């Protein structure tokens, strides 16, 4: 997900999306530990997306 796309979303939508992505990340970590995950690059991608979303939420909070 790109920064531009995240900035267009409402803060509440971003927070919901963060929760979904963190749950997804947890599932991927379990799959990786059990050697069932074939695309391990997905772990880093999701971690970076969550960090981007948290950054945007923080920026919006500071702007208020």
Average pLDDT over residues 45-53: 97
pLDDT (tens digit per residue) in 12-31: 999 999 999 999 999 999 99
Q: Does 3-63 carry CATH code 1.10.287?
A: yes
Distance CA 31, CA 22 (A): 14
Structural contact between residues 49 and 2, judged by C-beta atoms closer than 8 angstroms? no
Per DSSP, the residues of 24-40 read HHHHHHHHHHTT--S-T
Q: Is the pLDDT of residue 1 over 90?
A: no
């Amino acid at each position: 997900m790109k920064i531009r796309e995240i900035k267009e979303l409402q803060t509440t939508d971003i927070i919901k999306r963060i929760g979904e992505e963190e749950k997804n990340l947890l599932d991927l970590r379990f799959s990786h530990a059990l050697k069932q995950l074939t695309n391990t690059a997905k772990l880093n991608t999701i971690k970076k997306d969550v960090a981007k979303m948290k950054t945007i939420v923080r920026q919006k909070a500071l702007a208020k």
